[in-house]
Structure 1
């Protein structure tokens, strides 16, 4: 039994069947933006390993950070102990974060950071003597992760978690924002959210939302004005605001954090994915001083969360190095160049009769088809053209590493054109 056969028979991969799994390709090497398969094929990675490998693969500075830390110590418990890598990454995060955010809770993964954010919000209000504020309000087409509290804030009908509807906590959902990024804002857009909050603010702990870009819920780009109005409603009705920047953070949308498009500061902000440059799992939940102190007022007097691998030194060391690369601000020029090239290359595909819509924001390009995509067939065709993308539903999308060259990006867009012609 070769590796691929063993894998298909015994290893589950994300969002695929154990009965009839999607094809899987064995990677033997990764360098820059190129993945090398065991078959010898080489492909340009247009996914940055699901938004995370923003500096590409085998980056010398990130490699050096990992080697240096592993030779010192790879892990110590974070309860009662601290270390330089955790301090370094926390300093870097707070230097980048929107004004007013000054506390860092290090978490294991993006979903866990959302769980932490939700627990923070619930405990905050309980400690203010308002335990009746235990609900979340959000928008449809959202996605916040695959763990249970996070799933409860994902779209209950069109999302991936409808099977668990009877188990999940019931939250309040407003329609997804309809005013697209760059369009004049329609006042009607915010009215359903406003009505929900007016009617239920006494039991709403927090509004949770992906700022400006809804990711796995449909790769939708919406007006920053909607986000600004949500901030105003939260302030007016005494509700905490959670911005889920896991996918959008660290420059992906053309701003360091997507909430900057709206000029707002959330009370709680989740980051992950690109935090370590795609090297290993690490996330963080950031919050304001008010939230941090409010969570610890009264009993139990502490925040009741503590992952075993919280503040893992190896992950923190690489994350600090990754944030140091971002701090040089080269990402701004890189993302702007990617955006300009994607617009020039992808917008002509709007003329294809099978294409519903093409949209680009920052280093994100989306081609929405009129009908569902045959993932296995489409991936195989893209690989034959030397490109790695991972479509889902009706979406063929890309979010390449920031270091991608113009020639490599052209290879991706040309391959898409060939597949659309076929």
Structure 2
């Protein structure tokens, strides 16, 4: 494999062209393992950025892809439809929180957020209320790298501050502070409620990541905050957008993180694990009220349509992935992962380099006092036979659900050894 060409010409995510981070060449992936070209087998603690929940080279997903590609790899979704998309949307409507009746199939998670925000803006414009054109979001959030999505990411600590002058100005509330298992503090919701009272005439929607803020800091907060957000949106006539791209399909111990608060949003964004990590696909679901509102008056249609919308190959694999989820094994798998993370990862708080540890479902986070040296710590992880991709002060794992107790123990042990020598 020509890694010299890769380093010289190929831009990897969040990497400098001047001083690029090392890239390890993968030759094959099976189960929870990534096999490097040099022969090492690494336990993947990231599930390919949280998507490969069933592991790699899964027989049922492979079969779905093979069968579909022999029939039809792609066909435009404008004016045409097909069985894989219809079947997928039936499953999504049935399994997502109550009231989400319409499905827009998108290309990626960031695009699903763009679609959700555009839905909200068009909804209010078609009600004759063009004043409602801003978005409210808690700080420490992350919603993607495209421009509308960037505008609702954390404006200070987020990775997009460089573009602030080019982004639409939004409204930001302090991040929720009450942790998942703490006693709820009513003061936590007060700043957001105050902002809604002041600005509800201008706010089209509140957008947030329910219960777990992902790439903005891997923060896990109290479900009551989400429940109060739903109540406030109803009170002030503001749409609620829940971004479950990272948390959807069982990652937090519930099928969708909204279920921790027993609420349903007006608009829901899904992606990542939708195809079990095989192909890029996302979905934006909305209520019937939102769908009818968006299409009321001129132009009478929702103004979005990606070229690869409803790709049959991706939909077929997604159907196979959701079939596995609906068998229910994920509940036992995620429960076992959570129990082991609580037993083995939470005690790493005792290490001198560590300031906090936290766990929810199949998510384990270790926060350090200072930012880690990514190149150095990843070299250590590879030597330990694991693949973990930290960022900033966060060393975290979100493994495939099929991981064994011994494999998870190896991931946690590698984190411990890395931080003991930090």
TM-score scaled to structure 2, two decimals?
A: 0.99
Secondary structure of the structure 1 residue equivalent to 2:201:
helix
Distance apart, 1:348 and its partner CA: 1.6
Distance apart, 1:142 and its partner CA: 0.2
> Does the Cα contact within 8 Å between 2:173 and 2:195 map onto a contact in 1?
yes
Q: State how many pairs are aligned.
A: 421
* Corresponding residue of 2:275: 276
- Tell me the alpha carbon deviations over residues 349-400 of structure 1, each in whole angstroms, 9 at most, x when there is no partner: 1111110001000000000000110000000001101000000000000000
Distance in 2 (CA, whole Å) between partners of 1:415 and 1:201 is 48
1:322 aligns with 2:321: yes
Distance apart, 1:419 and its partner CA: 1.2
* Corresponding residue of 2:175: 176
* Corresponding residue of 2:291: 292
* Corresponding residue of 1:9: 8
Distance in 1 (CA, whole Å) between partners of 2:351 and 2:308 is 49
* Corresponding residue of 2:395: 396
* Corresponding residue of 2:113: 114
Distance in 1 (CA, whole Å) between partners of 2:112 and 2:413 is 37
Q: Show structure 2 runs of 5+ residues with no match.
A: none
* Corresponding residue of 1:205: 204
| Structure 2 counterparts to residues 74-223 of structure 1, below 5 A | 74-223=73-222
The runs of at least 4 aligned residues of structure 1 exceeding 3 Å deviation read: none
TM-score scaled to structure 1, two decimals?
A: 0.99
Q: Show structure 1 runs of 5+ residues with no match.
A: none
Distance apart, 1:29 and its partner CA: 0.3
* Corresponding residue of 2:336: 337
Distance in 2 (CA, whole Å) between partners of 1:105 and 1:253 is 24
Distance in 2 (CA, whole Å) between partners of 1:380 and 1:8 is 17
Distance apart, 1:96 and its partner CA: 0.7
* Corresponding residue of 2:235: 236
Distance in 2 (CA, whole Å) between partners of 1:406 and 1:45 is 14
Distance apart, 1:417 and its partner CA: 1.6
Distance in 2 (CA, whole Å) between partners of 1:64 and 1:158 is 43
- Tell me the alpha carbon deviations over residues 87-113 of structure 1, each in whole angstroms, 9 at most, x when there is no partner: 111111111100111110000000000
RMSD: 0.6
| Structure 2 counterparts to residues 241-280 of structure 1, below 5 A | 241-280=240-279
Distance in 1 (CA, whole Å) between partners of 2:46 and 2:98 is 31
Distance in 2 (CA, whole Å) between partners of 1:347 and 1:176 is 23
Distance in 2 (CA, whole Å) between partners of 1:319 and 1:144 is 22
Distance in 1 (CA, whole Å) between partners of 2:264 and 2:347 is 37
Distance in 2 (CA, whole Å) between partners of 1:108 and 1:7 is 25
